[in-house]
Each structure stands twice: as C-alpha cells, then as structure tokens.
Amino acid sequence: MDQVILVLGWLGIYAPVALGTIGSSIGCTLAGQAAAGAMLDVESGYGKYIGLAAMPSTQAILGIVIMFSLNRGVTLTNAPGLAAIGVLSGVALLFNGVYQGRSLVSAIDTVKNKPEVFGLSLAPAAIVEGFAVFTFVFALVLSGALPQ
C-alpha cells in the first residue's frame, strides 16, 4: 500500500505537465483548424489567426511551472498532497485548454466575418484563461504548504 501512495505522489508531480500539454494540444488544434479555414476566406491579416490559435499553449507552460513547484522527494507524508494538487490542477488545465480552444474557434469565425470586433471576440477566451491562472496561483500556494 505504501508503494501505491508513493507512486500517486510521483504521478501528482508530473500530472500538471502531462494533462496541461494535452489540453494545450487539443485547444491549439481546434483553434488552428479554424484559423487555417479562415485564412482561405480572407486576403490579409493572417498573423492574428495564428496568434489566436496559439493562445491555448499557456496551459502547458502553467503546468510546467506547477510541476517545478511540486518537485521534491516523495514521502508518505507529502505524496497524498502532491497527488491531489498535481492531478486536480492538471485536469483543470486540460479542460481549460480544450474550452479555450473552442471559444477561439468562435472568435476566429467571428473575426473572419467581422474584423472590427477582433478585441471583443477575445473576451471569452481571455476569461477562460483567467480560470487557468486561478488554478495556477492556487496550486503554487498549496504546494508551498506541503511538507518537503
């Protein structure tokens, strides 16, 4: 049983990176597909579509920083906390990346048809990004309370 607890602790250290990058990959893929389609329909301004498609990559970066904050020797004392913080923050980043990508698909389609609303169309994706930052901050705060 002790070995299972230790394995869960190690899993918790890596989970934010693994799950965050999965979310970023899916979100960037969704937005990238929409961006590629939009570029077929417009004559200029391609860079903004590429920029929008890259927005969900933040979740991978946040996952890496959380992983570094959790990285320590795994003991029976800290393994449950590492597992809880790491896995839950990773799951949150995964869903965040996917849903940010989905909101960017809508933003890209809107901007393609009405370029003057570019800034406004980013608001939903920015709000979703804010939730990723909440996850990030709370994971860092909680990781500081774990025993070394």
Question: pLDDT tens-digit profile of 45-96?
Answer: 888 999 999 999 999 999 999 999 999 999 999 999 999 999 999 999 999 9
Rounded to an integer, what distance in angstroms lies between the CA atom of residue 82 and that of residue 116?
46
Q: Are residues 143 and 68 in contact, defined by beta-carbon separation less than 8 angstroms?
A: no
Rounded to an integer, what distance in angstroms lies between the CA atom of residue 39 and that of residue 97?
22
Burial class (CB in 10 A: 0-12, 13-18, 19+), 16: buried
Question: pLDDT tens-digit profile of 19-36?
Answer: 999 999 999 999 999 999
Domain that holds residue 78: 2-144
Residue 43 has pLDDT above 90, yes or no: no
CATH of the domain at 71: 1.20.120.610
Query: How many structural domains compose the chain?
Result: 1
CB atoms inside a 10 Å sphere around CB 130: 11
